[in-house]
Amino acid sequence: MTAIALLGAQWGDEGKGKATDLLGEKVDYVVRYQGGNNAGHTVVIGDQKYALHLLPSGILSPGVIPVIGNGVVIDPSVLFEEIKGLNERGIDTSRLKISTNAHLITPYHRTIDKVSERFLGKSKIGTTGRGIGPAYADKINRIGIRIQDLFDPSILKQKVEGALRDKNQILIKVFNRKGLEIDDVVNEYLGYAELLKPFVTDTSLLLNKALDQGKNILLEGSQGTLLDVDHGTYPFVTSSNPTAGGACTGSGIGPTRISRVIGIVKAYTTRVGSGPFPTELFDEDGEKLRSIGGEVGVTTGRARRCGWYDALIARYAVRVNGLTDFFLTKLDVLTGWEKIPVCVAYEIDGKRVEELPASQSDFHHAKPIYEFLPGWNEDISKAKSLDQLPANAKAYVKYLEEISGAPVSAVGVGPERDQTISVRELI
């Protein structure tokens, strides 16, 4: 009867896979609305671990229809690799629906992503190298290739020709690379057409009809609020809108149909790639968070940068997404510290600042001002309610709730689906 958006409140990797998977059990559709195979969701079910990059988490729940919306950029080679991997493990993927308007990532996007990063040298973004930025750039430039183009070979050829006219010049003359053959790209992509056909549909129509019929829809964000191309730490961002507005444009559902916006927030902070990160740790505490939290990228295998919880980021996520709830993840990782710092404000040029600075230069200079909360040593991984947590762990959650600006409605205390404290029903 409603659409719910679930998205990252920090720089991604907040544990969205588990949250989506958990809530996905209660909905009829799970929709990805932006990003591509730069995402990495890990879902643990029993003794099985699934790493998903492009497919919506709902693919693992038999009663759910997983949807890749128009706002996603699709690398078909990755899509079919992921489908094959799941099929080999006995997971049925035939329910998948893909928007006819989604854009395609092509070999030239991947090449340009990698070479342009190399050319940026020290100023590099630290992209995942999957061709995401160049594919979105073509979309905005109106020279992108959409899923529907695969079903019209002459249009496909025209569009590839148009795109490669510039791209080959850039590859050869600027980056000193080989150009791509139009026919190679066209033939490879025509080969995907038949495979894709059973999945492709008008997903906006499908989803709106589903809402009319009283179905529940979960809109699953990838990356996170601070990686949003409009609201994130630009230019160290991804090239799409993970924030709540993107859930509408990337799925074809109007904002009035979304009743709840849930922000997934980790009990500490991580980011991958370059860019400012005021609470980043360079000492053994950072190492400890990384090793206990398993903070290594699912997609790239890169070690994540780690730091303490930053309430300014959480409040900003409430503001730009209109968050109604937080789903706090990985509280168990903080077990074993005597004191846990929480960033409540920044010092910028000698002044105390309580909101995320609008200027990137200020953000780069921001020094965290911490409150120190008492830690706990007890194992919390089996707690089923806030009252089963040690007093200091419960106080930590309550404190975060107070300073972050939205209620904490669920708390993750371990990687399994059932290692979650439900404070308030989310659906």
Which stretch in 127-135, 143-151, 348-356, 397-405 sits in contact with ligand IMP by CB under 6 A? 127-135
* The 3-state secondary structure of the chain, one letter per residue: CCEEEEEECCCCCCCHHHHHHHHHCCCCEEEECCECCCCCEEEEECCEEEEECCCCHHHHCCCCEEEECCCEEECHHHHHHHHHHHHHCCCCCCCCEEECCCEECCHHHHHHHHHHHHHHHHHCCCCCCCCHHHHHHHHHHCCCCEHHHHHCHHHHHHHHHHHHHHHHHHHHHHCCCCCCCHHHHHHHHHHHHHHHHHHEECHHHHHHHHHHCCCCEEEECCCCHHHCCCCCCCCCCCCCCCCHHHHHHCCCCCHHHEEEEEEEEECCEEECCCCCCCCECCCHHHHHHHHHHCCECCCCCCECEEECEEHHHHHHHHHHHCCCEEEEECHHHHCCCCEEEEEEEEEECCEEECCCCCCHHHHHHCEEEEEEEECCCCCCCCCCCHHHCCHHHHHHHHHHHHHHCCCEEEEECCCCCCCEEECCCCC
Which stretch in 33-41, 91-99, 213-221, 333-341 sits in contact with ligand IMP by CB under 6 A? 33-41
Nearer to ligand IMP, 93 or 116 (CB): 116
Site for ligand IMP in 217-256 (CB under 6 A): 222-223, 227, 236, 238-239
Contact between 295 and ligand IMP by CB under 6 A: the answer reads: no
Nearer to ligand IMP, 189 or 236 (CB): 236
- Member of 13, 28, 82, 220 binding ligand IMP (CB under 6 A): 13
Site for ligand IMP in 205-224 (CB under 6 A): 222-223
The phi, psi pair for 329, rounded to 5°, reads -115, 160
Which stretch in 130-138, 242-250, 305-313, 399-407 sits in contact with ligand IMP by CB under 6 A? 130-138
> Is 183 in the active site?
no
- Member of 5, 12, 263, 410 binding ligand IMP (CB under 6 A): 12
- Member of 250, 273, 307, 412 binding ligand IMP (CB under 6 A): 273
- Member of 126, 153, 375, 405 binding ligand IMP (CB under 6 A): 126
Nearer to ligand IMP, 132 or 253 (CB): 132
> Is 228 in the active site?
no
Which stretch in 98-106, 122-130, 175-183, 350-358 sits in contact with ligand IMP by CB under 6 A? 122-130
In eight-state DSSP terms, residue 326 is E
Contact between 106 and ligand IMP by CB under 6 A: the answer reads: no
Nearer to ligand IMP, 13 or 138 (CB): 13
Give the distance, in angstroms, between the CA of residue 315 and the centroid of all CA atoms in the same chain. Answer: 19
**Residue of 41, 103, 109, 231 with catalytic role:** 41
Contact between 171 and ligand IMP by CB under 6 A: the answer reads: no
- Member of 128, 204, 241, 324 binding ligand IMP (CB under 6 A): 128
Nearer to ligand IMP, 112 or 258 (CB): 112
**Residue of 13, 228, 310, 325 with catalytic role:** 13
- Member of 56, 66, 69, 133 binding ligand IMP (CB under 6 A): 133
Which residues of the chain form contacts with ligand IMP (CB under 6 A)? 11-13, 38-40, 125-128, 130, 132-133, 222-223, 227, 236, 238-239, 272-273
List the catalytic residues: 13, 41
